Amino acid sequence: MSIAERVKARRLELNLTQVQLGKLSGLSQQSVQSIEKGEIQRPRRILEISHALHCSVEWLCYGFESSLRSHTINDNQNC
């Protein structure tokens, strides 16, 4: 599963529209749509998206979560 598929699946799981996800993460609806289509593969606002979707950046980017969190996530981290 790609980041595009994970973002869309999690958004639908939370019953959010693209507009709502955009507002929660500081993106336009068009940007959310581009991410979900796979046109944007490394979103700059990945941290905000993960907060809005109540999941980790690691899961959004890679599809898994490490049980060891030896590093912190900063606002500039991309997939």
* Contact present, 18 and 29 (Cβ < 8 Å): yes
Q: Is residue 79 one of the residues assigned to a domain?
A: no
On whether residue 55 sits in a domain, the answer given is: yes
Confidence of residue 79 (pLDDT cuts 50, 70, 90): low
Domain membership flag for residue 76: no
CATH of the domain at 11: 1.10.260.40
**Is position 39 within any domain?**
yes
Please, are residues 44 and 78 in contact by the beta-carbon 8 Å criterion?
Answer: yes
The residues near 72 (Cβ < 8 Å, ≥ 6 apart) are none
Is 58 a member of any domain?
A: yes
The predicted-structure confidence for 20-78, as pLDDT tens digits, reads as follows 999 999 999 999 999 999 999 899 999 999 999 999 999 999 998 766 554 444 444 55
Which positions ≥6 away from 79 have C-beta within 8 Å? 3, 41, 42, 43, 46, 57, 60, 61, 62
**pLDDT score for 75:** 44
Q: In terms of residue numbers, what domain contains 16?
A: 3-62
Q: What pTM was computed for the model?
A: 0.81
Q: Which two tokens stand for residue 65?
A: 């979560």
Tally of domains within the chain: 1
